[in-house]
Structure 1
Amino acid sequence: MTTPALRPEDDDPAVGVCFVVSIDTADEVVPLGVFNSCEGLGIEIVMETREEGGNNAMVWQLPTRIKYSNVKLSRPIGPDSAKLTTWFSGMVNGVTPQTAVIQARTMKGRVVTEWSLFGVIPVRWTGPSMNFDSPKAATETLEIAHHGITAKAGS
């Protein structure tokens, strides 16, 4: 009896991952769709250096604040692209920070992990470059700023 060969997505959940994004508005949870690239999920503790008089052997490194980098999500354009335009146009009369959830999923739909981002504000949307000479897939990129990130419990 032979054992079936494991496919990459079966033994390593980080292979073939897509990112499902949704935002919480005041009234409902709005799914923004599936993205195939997610960059910039990160937290940095900003350090301040202090030199102590008479102590030449070291410089003190003191933590001061936490900094969160912007997140960039990319995907080929499709039916969900209109959701980004709607979200941005809703900011015309005032920007209201929202909560977003980014789920990393396998191609079979199993959630690998997810992150909640607080105080989310859309910063930039970049649409596809339309060039007859370049037969690349038309992609769009969403960039969001936020004020905090936590891993969802159980992830």
Structure 2
Amino acid sequence: MPDQPFAVSSMFQLSIGPHALGSFTSCDGLGCAMDVEERVEGGMNGQVWQLPTRLRYSNVVLSRPLTSQTTLVWAWLRLQVEEPARLPGQLVALGPDRKPIVRWLLDGVLPVRWSGPTFDTEQSQAARETLEIAHHGFVGVTI
């Protein structure tokens, strides 16, 4: 079996519908959780049934150093204010060689929050921006 690439020092490319929003250096919150409902059955004192009800998807938070790609995010945010639309999204994890490792296809993406950099001359860190998005779930996960 050939060696499989694994995510180490990945970059993440984000596109929402026709809007390519650039590469991000950090991705957090990509996940889901199954809600369960507990049911007790009469006469079965040693067991509680765990019944699945719905799948909830967490918001995805992406961040990166401030670059000219910030204008791409801002243009998409402005468009969402003027003409809100839940568009499909694509988040691609890239390996150190910049080749795709895995691709998540997201359904109905909306912006939740954008925060710009904090400028502090006493700190030697790069100015960063953060984008938080909500979605209805995964349409697919591919390579």
SS in 1 for 2:80: coil
Mapping of residues 50-65 of structure 1, within 5 Å: 50-65=39-54
Tell me which residue corresponds to 1:13.
6
Matched-pair identity in %: 42
Per the TM alignment, residue 11 of structure 1 is displaced from its structure 2 partner at its CA by 7.6
Q: State the distance in 1 between where 2:108 and 2:66 align.
A: 26
Bigger Cα displacement from structure 2, 46-55 vs 63-72: 46-55
Write the distance in 2 (CA, Å) between the matches of 1:142 and 1:61. Answer: 35
Bigger relative contact order (CA 8 A; separation at least 6)? 2
Q: CA deviation at 1:133?
A: 2.1
Question: How many residue pairs end up in the alignment?
Answer: 140
Which residue in the other structure is 2:69 paired with? 80
Pick the structure with greater CA Rg: 1
1:52 to partner: Cα distance: 2.0
Matched, 1:32 2:21: yes
Instruction: Return the letter of the residue paired with 2:78.
Output: S
Query: What's the counterpart of residue 125 of structure 1?
Result: 114
Equivalent-residue separation in structure 2 for 1:94 and 1:18 (angstroms): 29
Question: How much has 1:118 moved relative to structure 2?
Answer: 0.6
Normalising by the residue count of structure 1, what TM-score does the alignment of the two structures yield?
0.84
2:109 and 2:93 map into 1 onto residues whose CA distance is 18
Shift of 1:130: 1.3
Instruction: Quote the Cα distance in structure 2 between the aligned partners of 1:54 and 1:108.
Output: 60
Give 2:86's aligned residue.
97
